[in-house]
Amino acid sequence: MGKPYVYITRNVPKETITSLEEVAEVAMWPHEEEPVPRNILLQEAEKADGLFTMLSDKVDKELMDGAPHLKVIANLAVGFDNIDVQTATDKKIVVCNTPDVLTDTTADLTFALLMATARRIVEASDYVKDGKWKNWGPLLLAGTDIHHKTIGIVGMGRIGAAVAKRATGFDMEILYHNRSRNEKAEKELGATYVSFDELIKRSDFVVCLAPLTKETENLFTWATFTLMKKSAIFINASRGAVVDEVALERALEEKEIGGAGLDVFRVEPISATHPLLRFKNVVALPHIGSSSMETRYAMCELVSRNIANVLLGSKPETSVNPEVLG
């Protein structure tokens, strides 16, 4: 018998897949930003023992039904809402993700997005680059303070707690809402657990870091935005589908909120004509939460090790459905 076959759905640094190449025959989609076409993904899955996937790849029942040799699907992300985990579990296919290694990097980006939106950093940079800076004025591009304000974090997991830790350096009051209490964050960071509505009403910065589930899809609606302070800034670094984007556009248009910092969108990528981009008080990023060189290399290496471990009959380091291996 030859080596098992693994297909990688984007072009990742070759030095990050050495552990995988030691145990498997590896093929890779040659493009870094262009996603693998669906028909090619289905063809590759049909013969694959392992798939190294991205959030943009739909790994559904159709794909798994046509992949009789598939033993492991490993996502280059913490999230895995692109994978039908129940079908994978039923078929004894291990599903892996990449938690932990990207926590601090994503928290850095989330807080940077908050700061950039509050202090109008992108707008100010464009103001200079566009040659508009002619004189100094007392309120020239004046933003809003971050220190001593109230931050409300929706989703107090690893990344949420890391964002809260950064907020302590700004002497912020930290509120959070989560499916369950995070007593460690309460004890170590002074975070206060509150209801979702109370968080929305009291926070100067509402930061969404919740995973995308049936319960969180469209969590932020028009009704939600109208409960916020008129000066509140909404930050989303989780998943685009947790937000009703039409409602967010209306909230910005009608000045129900003070601004938004968005690293994610419902349908990605977005075009330059996306309606949310017309607002100067919106900072939009191309889903780069974990995008540092150090972290992306570490993520790729973790995905490679996870796949290699499963193919060798060992437990992966990070699995979503560990019950498959018993």
Active site residues: 239, 268, 287
Q: How far apart are CA 15 and CA 276, in angstroms?
A: 39
Tokens of 292: 């540092």
DSSP, res 35: P
Classify burial at 44, counting beta carbons within 10 Å of its beta carbon; exposed 0-12, middle 13-18, buried 19 or more: buried
Q: How far apart are CA 44 and CA 31, in angstroms?
A: 16
Backbone angles phi, psi at 311, to 5 degrees: -65, -25
3-state secondary structure of 258: coil
Classify burial at 199, counting beta carbons within 10 Å of its beta carbon; exposed 0-12, middle 13-18, buried 19 or more: buried
Question: Measured on CA atoms in the order 311, 56, 219, 114, is the torsion positive or negative?
Answer: positive
C-alpha closest to that of 262 among 135, 307, 72, 241: 241
Question: Measured on CA atoms in the order 211, 214, 215, 221, is the torsion positive or negative?
Answer: positive
Query: CA 204 → CA 13, 114, 123, 231, distances in Å?
Result: 40, 11, 20, 7
Omega of the bond prior to 269 within 30 degrees of 0, cis? yes
